[in-house]
Structure 1
């Protein structure tokens, strides 16, 4: 799935669209996507000028956007807005820096009504950068 197809599913746009490519999606269940980390991103101006590191919150946001692709790919969820309901068990294992290709894997493990939970892992070259459990709510 290319960037135009991604933009047809999730509402995020530049400069806050943090998913560049989707390898595959099983609607409502799973997604594997990628974020290409570039030195041209605004947050690297101040985080940190001498040693640019992608902020952990943006890694989590990238995972959440990937998860949103899985959820919003379901016909009954098209056009809805995904909101954070919680972030649990977040662990950071390595830095993410310009030039990295961040692999975003999200499994939707629970869905009840408009509330759900996803287990998410971000990797760089198969090395885990972040693990987190994401809770979300779908709004209209």
Structure 2
């Protein structure tokens, strides 16, 4: 059950095994092992995976049937932005105005992720054209 739910949510969130691995500080192979039931995560890794996938450990473990998104009061935009920065390999974050970023909600973070994904795809196309 864990492996299926992990794979489902990873894909639902638009993450590759490699990008999820980066978010939780592990490898693509480790995520693959979890999804193929070759190994199980430690308790701390389970918590990290749940946070990265915006769900609960109870959902991943099969204790509840619907995944819950992080409640607005628990949402930390800076944590979410830092995940995106790591996932998309953005190294120069000096242009960020932290006070403005703190005011973002889940919808704005989703828009920011879409923008990062767009920029990443444009960079890939540009490199292919060369």
Give the TM-score normalised by the residue count of structure 1. 0.28
Q: More helix per residue: 1 or 2?
A: 2
Q: More strand per residue: 1 or 2?
A: 1
* Structure whose CA Rg is larger: 2
Give the TM-score normalised by the residue count of structure 2. 0.29
